[in-house]
Amino acid sequence: MTRTVTLALHPAFRVAPVRPRTFGAFVEHLGRCVYGGIFEPGHPAADEAGFRTDVLDLTRELGVTSVRYPGGNFVSGYRWEDGVGPVEERPARHDLAWHSTEPNTVGLDEFMAWAERAGVEPMYAVNLGTRGVPEALDVLQYANAPQGIALSDARAAHGHPEPYGIRMWCLGNEMDGPWQTGHKTAEEYARTAAETARAMRQEDPGLELVACGSSSSQMPTFGTWEATVLAETYDLVDMVSAHAYYAEKDGDQASFLASADDMDHFIDSVVATADHVRAELKAEKRIMVSFDEWNVWYQHRAESRPPEGDDWPVAPVLLEDTYNAMDAVVVGSLLISLLRHSDRVASASLAQLVNVIAPIMTAPGGEAWRQTTFHPFALTARHAAGEVLDVRIDAPTFANERFGTSSAADAVATWDETAGDLTLFVVNRDPERELDLAVNLADFGGLSLVEALTLHHEDPYAANTQDAPDTVTPQANDSIRVEDGRLSGALPAISWSLVRLQRG
Asked whether residue 301 carries a pLDDT value surpassing 90, the answer given is no
**In-domain check, residue 152:** no
- Residue 304, pLDDT score: 83
- Whether the CB-CB separation of 325 and 494 falls below 8 Å is answered with yes
Instruction: Report the mean per-residue pLDDT for the chain.
Output: 97
Considering the domain architecture, whether residues 378 and 435 belong to the same structural domain is answered as no
> How is 250-276 classified by DSSP, letter by letter?
TT-HHHHHTHHHHHHHHHHHHHHHHHH
Give the pLDDT score at 101. Answer: 98
Q: Is residue 142 part of a domain?
A: no
Q: Where are the beta strands (DSSP E) in 163-254?
A: 168-171, 208-211, 239-246
CATH label of the domain that carries residue 398: 2.60.40.1180
Q: Are residues 264 and 318 in the same domain?
A: yes
CB distance 43 to 368 below 8 Å? no
Cα 250 from Cα 487, distance rounded (Å): 38
Q: Quick one: average pLDDT of 146-167?
A: 98
| Burial 314-341, CB ≥16 within 10 A → b, else e | ebbebbbbebbbbbbbbbbbbbbbbbbb
Helix axes of 53-62 and 108-118: crossing angle, nearest 10 degrees: 60
Residues 258 and 368 both lie in one domain = yes
pLDDT single digits (tens) 160-179: 999 999 999 999 999 999 99
Residue 483 maps to a domain: yes
Q: What is the CA radius of gyration of the chain?
A: 23
Beta carbons within 8 Å of 69's beta carbon, 6+ residues apart: 26, 27, 28, 111, 122, 123, 124, 125
Is residue 504's pLDDT more than 90? no
Domain assignment present for 162: no
Check whether residue 448 and residue 471 sit in a common domain: yes
Q: Are residues 39 and 133 in the same domain?
A: yes
- The reply to whether 146 falls in a domain is no
The share of the chain scoring above pLDDT 70, in percent, equals 100
Same domain, 77 and 186: yes
Compute CA distances 432 → 399, 457, 491, whole Å: 11, 12, 11
Q: Are 114 and 158 in contact (CB under 8 A)?
A: no
Q: Are residues 371 and 401 part of one domain?
A: no
**What total number of domains does the chain contain?**
2
Give me the pLDDT at residue 24, please.
98
pLDDT band, residue 1 (cuts 50/70/90): low
Q: What is the mean pLDDT of residues 188-198?
A: 98
Q: Give the pTM.
A: 0.97
Per-residue model confidence as pLDDT tens digits over 412-444: 999 999 999 999 999 999 999 999 999 999 999
d(CA 92, CA 83): 10
Residue 305 lies in a domain: yes
Total residues found in the chain within this entry: 504
Catalytic residues: 174, 293
Quickly list H helices, 85-132. 108-118
Q: Which residues contact 333 (CB under 8 A, 6 or more apart)?
A: 257, 259, 260, 410, 427, 429, 496
pLDDT tens by residue, 335-383: 999 999 999 999 999 999 999 999 999 999 999 999 999 999 999 999 9
Find the domain containing 366 and state its range: 19-137+167-190+208-383
Instruction: Establish if 45 belongs to a structural domain.
Output: yes
| Average pLDDT of the segment spanning 372-400 | 97
Instruction: Please state the three-class secondary structure of 416-468 as a single string.
Output: ECCCCEEEEEEEECCCCCCEEEEEECHHHCCEEEEEEEEECCCCCCCECCCCC
pLDDT in tens, 22-76: 999 999 999 999 999 999 999 999 999 999 999 999 999 999 999 999 999 999 9
Tell me the mean pLDDT in the region 233-246: 98
Q: Please give the C-alpha separations between residue 331 and each of 148, 369, 378, 433, in angstroms, as whole numbers.
A: 46, 18, 11, 20
User: 352 preceded by cis ω (within 30°)?
Assistant: yes
- C-alpha torsion sign, points 98, 99, 104, 105: negative
Please state the φ and ψ torsions of residue 56, each to the nearest 5 degrees: -60, -45
Which of 362, 383, 404 finishes a domain? Answer: 383
357 and 443 share one domain: no
Do 62 and 171 share a domain, yes or no?
yes
Tens-place pLDDT, residues 87-106: 999 999 999 999 999 999 99
**The domain that contains 271 carries what CATH number?**
3.20.20.80
Q: Which of 354, 383, 412 lies at the terminal end of a domain, its last residue? A: 383
C-alpha span between 9 and 115 (Å, rounded): 38
The answer to whether the beta carbons of residues 188 and 232 sit under 8 Å apart is: no
CB 170 within 8 A of CB 123: yes
d(CA 69, CA 292): 11
Same domain flag for 366 and 279 = yes
- Using CA atoms, how far residue 349 sits from 45, 122, 233, 377, 445, in Å, is 26, 11, 22, 11, 35
Residue 330: closest CA among 435, 437, 246: 246
How far, in Å, CA of 465 to CA of 368, rounded? 10
Residues 451 and 341 in one domain: no
CA gap 480, 497 in Å, rounded: 10
Greatest alpha-carbon span in the chain: 74
> Are 480 and 487 a contacting pair, CB within 8 Å?
yes
DSSP lists the bridge partners of residue 481 as 488
253 located within any domain: yes
Residue 176 shares a structural domain with residue 264: yes
**Domain boundary residue, one of 342, 362, 383:** 383
